[in-house]
Amino acid sequence: MVLVAALAGVLCGSSFAAAPGSGGSVSASEQTCRACHSIDTTKVGPSFRAIAERYRGDSDAVAKLKKSMLEGSSGKWNTGAQMPPNAISAADAERFAGWILGVK
Ligand code: HEC
């Protein structure tokens, strides 16, 4: 498990930093997300690609994802886990949401 998490961290290492318009490093909050998410494998939470696919075409997607990140989420993805509220700013949540929705 630890190895898997470490690997995913390496593989996804520069992804957030490469997000368009990211304007600098994302630091600690980004590390937290990676404990539970990766780009294309389900970990504790759904993969970012699966999230992008589910919300594609939803004009409220950014608002919905932002709310989930800030307030926490459970029961939507049937992972058997829940996401606690994340200690990130609304601006960061919006940026993450935009980035996740752009994952192809
Ligand atoms: C403790 C583990 C954990 C952490 C840390 C975590 N998540 Fe999650 N995340 C989850 C789980 C579990 C779900 C599925 C929740 C559900 O079923 O409703 C989820 C769902 C999501 C969703 C989809 C929400 C929806 O409404 O469909 C997004 C987007 C997301 N996470 C982004 C993030 C970002 C960005 C971070 C870092 C700021 C983060 N998560 C940190 C576990 C986590």
Give the residue-averaged pLDDT of 15-40. Answer: 68
Using CA positions, which residue lies closest to atom 37 of ligand 1?
A: 33
- pTM (two decimals): 0.82
pLDDT band at 30 (very low <50, low <70, confident <90, very high): confident
Higher pLDDT, 14 or 45: 45
Q: List Cα–Cα distances, 86 to 11, 30, 42, 53, 89, in angstroms.
A: 23, 10, 19, 22, 9
Give the pLDDT confidence score for residue 27 in this predicted structure.
56
Give the pLDDT confidence score for residue 61 in this predicted structure.
98
Range of the domain at 28: 2-101
75 Cβ contact partners less than 8 Å away, ≥ 6 residues apart: 82
Is residue 57 lining ligand 1, measured as CB closer than 6 Å? no
Q: To which H or E segment does residue 85 belong?
A: none
Give the residue-averaged pLDDT of 74-96. Answer: 95
Number of domains in the chain: 1
Residue 23 belongs to a domain with what CATH number?
A: 1.10.760.10
Give the pLDDT confidence score for residue 78 in this predicted structure.
93
Using CA positions, which residue lies closest to atom 15 of ligand 1?
A: 74
Per the rule left: phi > 0, alpha: psi between -120 and 50, beta: everything else, 64 is alpha
Percent of the chain residues past pLDDT 70, beyond the cut:
74
Is residue 15 lining ligand 1, measured as CB closer than 6 Å? no
pLDDT band at 33 (very low <50, low <70, confident <90, very high): very high
Best residue among 73, 78, 86, 95 to mutate for probing ligand 1, ranked by most atoms within 8 Å of CB:
73
